[in-house]
Structure 1
Amino acid sequence: MTDTPDILCIGSVLWDVIGRSASHMRQGSDVPGRITRLPGGVALNIAMTLARFGLRPALLSAVGQDPEGHELAEACEKLGCDTRFLYRSEDLPTDRYMAVEGANGLIAAIADAHSLERAGSRILRPLSDGTLGTPQTPFTGSVALDGNLKETLLDEIVRDAAFAKADMRIAPASPGKAERLMPFLRAGRGVLYVNLEEAGLLCQDSFKSAPEAAAKLIERGAARAVVTNGGDAACDATADGLVAERPPEVLVTRVTGAGDTFMAAHIVAELRGAARAEALSLALDAAAAYVSGDIAS
């Protein structure tokens, strides 16, 4: 096997095109603002944060051989991410995400992750061909996995011997894809990172608080659930009990990528030996710093 990375980040690696305005917006608004293009995607956002904390994350995803793909892969390397294991398709274009944010939060977003979905299990070959592991000698480190993969592939991952010994950390790519995480809920595998809306979709219910939602996810079969709720209390739940804490109050200047920053900071804290309450607190601090603009994107 090759030099083993500190953690694998599996899922979307794409270009984020974000329009931000200081104005409150509604449907049909036409306002001045700034439009940026940055490396993004849930898996890459997590990896970039992990790299900022001093880890060497490796990306398992699909990136095209088009000019955008070459530029993206180069940018990922500069950001401290290992790109050796990317599936570089000549036939599939590099994926993109587009969002509009106003002073009142996220207005709308479209995720074009079709190439990742079409690549399917090909992005996972390094875990079975001996590069990072095999079904007989599975990868034993941490894995951050996002819900941009098809539910059929996520269901295969739950049962795949190549993942049997991995520390699985799983997040949906968006509320619209939250139900793709059902295989992990049914199997009681991994740590689920969801917000209040996503928890409701997984439980087919609605909740008023993160502790309520996290407790229900455990009741439904989750091994562990970490639920956030914007500026209200977040909760880490296991069968042994709940840990809850409110995030710091900050001026919110952006929202895209906040959940990914929270998840990455939580993983880093636990890899460094933090207990559950401390890890939750550190992750909330990191997410607050991100949304306030104190951490560069």
Structure 2
Amino acid sequence: MTQTSDILCIGSVLWDVIGRTASSMRVGSDVPGRITRLPGGVAMNIAMTLRRFGMAPALLTTIGRDPEGEELIAEATRMGMNCDHIYRSDDLPTDVYMAIEGANGLIAAIADAHSLEAAGDKILRPLANGALGTAQSPYAGTIALDGNLTTELLQTIARSPLFQNADFRVAPASPGKAERLLALLGHPSATLYVNLEEAGLLCQTTFDDSASACAALMARGAHRVLVTDGGKSASEGTAGDIITQTPPAVMVTRVTGAGDTFMAAHIASEAAGMDRAAALTRALNAAATYVSGETPL
């Protein structure tokens, strides 16, 4: 039975394999800790948080027909995701992300999203074949889009009439992929969610604070942008107007997925009718709760 949804999450859905330790680490460290495997990927992380805020996300991604993929589909369905429109590949394996986190933050990470990149525009077929929209009647809802897609596919999305009525919410998958978002920088309905480092990469400079990064991105043509800077500040810029807030101070126990949590909480807050300041506050509180090790609500 086809499920209904109120937001599309397009991008990476995979397994997160995360090693965490309470010790500070450096290159070559060998310390005790815990290793977990959980559903992850930018699109999945956003969708999971949206579910906690009462929204009904649909996933557009690729997942293999291998045992890992079957398990991932089952878990996503159990959590309430709409998996009806996922592209299932017979020959591409399910993607995976691996990271090491210490007391001093993220030490290293490798994202193997090669299957998503290889699938290309196959994941977008439901937006053209009538399942979610057509060229004559484009999808007109909110889309959360992540930077694990290839530059070519992001450029196609930016130009395609299939997306002309959509409310884009866009996040890079990592600083290493931030420049892929240049394809959507000037899109008239795109909201970019980036951290300070990613903002600097998009502007080919460095910034001292989130407000200056926000202003620079808007000067480069961004319709709307949110910039975070860890526990220091976060700024949101719309039509040249910038608001800045400081997140709550918390003990950090995890960092992978914090930006995705912030983005999803902000989207859900605006969907609930909150104004700019209230939505930013709620998103910062959700991200702070997440990195402290609790579940944001």
Instruction: Please say whether Structure 1 and Structure 2 have the same fold, judged by a TM-score greater than 0.5.
Output: yes
Partner residue in 2 for 1:195: 195
For 1:69 and 1:222, locate their aligned partners in 2 and report how far apart those are by CA, in whole Å.
36
Aligned runs of 1:40-79 on 2, under 5 Å?
40-79=40-79
CA deviation after TM superposition for structure 1 residue 133, in Å: 0.2
The answer to whether structure 1 residue 215 and structure 2 residue 194 are counterparts is no
The question of whether the paired residues in 2 share the 8 Å contact of 1:45 and 1:257 is answered with yes
Deviation of 1:3 (Å): 5.3
Higher mean C-alpha displacement, 87-96 vs 179-188: 179-188
Aligned to 1:241: 241
Q: Distance in 2 between matches of 1:115 and 1:295?
A: 30
- 1: distance between equivalents of 2:19 and 2:139? 39
Residues in 2 aligned to 1:32 and 1:257: alpha-carbon distance in whole angstroms: 22
Structure 2 contact 100–106 (Cα < 8 Å) conserved: yes
Do the aligned partners of 1:21 and 1:32 also contact (CA within 8 Å) in 2?
Answer: yes
Supply the AA of the counterpart residue of 1:193: Y
How far residue 80 of structure 1 moved from its aligned partner, in angstroms, is 1.4
Residue 79 of structure 1: how far off its partner (Å): 1.2
1:286 aligns with 2:286: yes
Unmatched segments (≥5 aa) in structure 1:
none
- The whole-number CA distance in structure 2 between the counterparts of 1:214 and 1:175 is 16
Residue 254 of structure 1 aligns with an amino acid whose one-letter code is R
Report if aligned partners of 2:215, 2:240 keep a CA contact under 8 Å in 1.
Answer: no
What corresponds to 2:123 in structure 1? 123
Correspondence for 2:24: 24
Residues in 1 aligned to 2:186 and 2:9: alpha-carbon distance in whole angstroms:
22
Post-superposition shift, 1:240?
Answer: 3.6
- Count the aligned residue pairs: 296
Contact 1:117 1:150 in 2 (8 A): yes
1:65 Cα deviation after fit = 0.2
Q: Deviations over 1:255-280 (max 9, x none)?
A: 00000000000000001111111100
**Distance (whole Å) between structure 2 residues aligned to residue 3 and residue 136 of structure 1:** 23
Contact 1:188 / 1:221 at 8 angstroms: preserved in 2? no
CA deviation vs aligned residue, 1:180-212 (integer Å, no higher than 9, x gap): 000111444400000000000000010000000
> Does the aligned pair in 1 maintain the 2:200–2:206 contact within 8 Å?
yes
2:183 match: 183
Q: What residue is the counterpart of 1:167 in the other structure?
A: 167
CA contact (8 A) 2:4 2:82 kept: no
For the residues of structure 2 that align with 1:290 and 1:277, how far apart are their CA atoms?
Answer: 20
Q: Distance in 1 between matches of 2:232 and 2:66?
A: 42
1:223, distance to aligned residue in structure 2 (A): 0.2
Q: Distance in 1 between matches of 2:247 and 2:109?
A: 25
Structure 2, gaps ≥5 residues long: none
Q: TM-score, structure 2 length as denominator?
A: 0.98
Task: Give yes or no for contact 1:189–1:222 (8 Å, CA) kept in 2.
Answer: no
Worse-superposed segment, 261-270 or 236-245: 236-245
Q: Aligned to 1:261, what secondary structure does the other structure show? A: helix
* Alpha-carbon contact 1:4-1:132 (below 8 Å) kept: no
Determine whether 1:105 maps to 2:105.
Answer: yes
| Other-structure match for 1:10 | 10
Aligned with 1:232: secondary structure? coil
Question: 2:8, 2:143 within 8 Å by CA — same for their partners in 1?
Answer: yes
Query: What does the per-residue CA deviation read over 1:4-43, in whole Å, with 9 as the maximum and x for residues that have no partner?
Result: 4110000000000000000000011000000000000000
Residues in 2 aligned to 1:97 and 1:20: alpha-carbon distance in whole angstroms = 14
Q: Alpha-carbon deviation of 1:143?
A: 0.3
SS at match of 2:162: helix
1:139 has 2:136 as partner: no
Question: After superposition, what is the alpha-carbon deviation per residue over 1:82-136, rounded to whole angstroms, capped at 9, x for unaligned?
Answer: 1111000001000000000000000000000000000000000000000000011
What is the CA–CA distance in structure 2 between the aligned matches of 1:122 and 1:244, rounded to whole Å? 39
1:224-266 per-residue CA deviation (whole Å, 9 max, x = no partner) reads: 0100000011000122400110000000000000000000000
What is the distance in 2 between the residues matched to 1:105 and 1:25?
9
1:202 and 1:188 map into 2 onto residues whose CA distance is 17
State the distance in 2 between where 1:88 and 1:166 align.
25
Segments ≥4 residues shifted beyond 6 Å: none
Deviation at 1:179, TM superposition (A): 0.2
- Mapped to 2, the partners of 1:182 and 1:129 lie a distance apart of 28
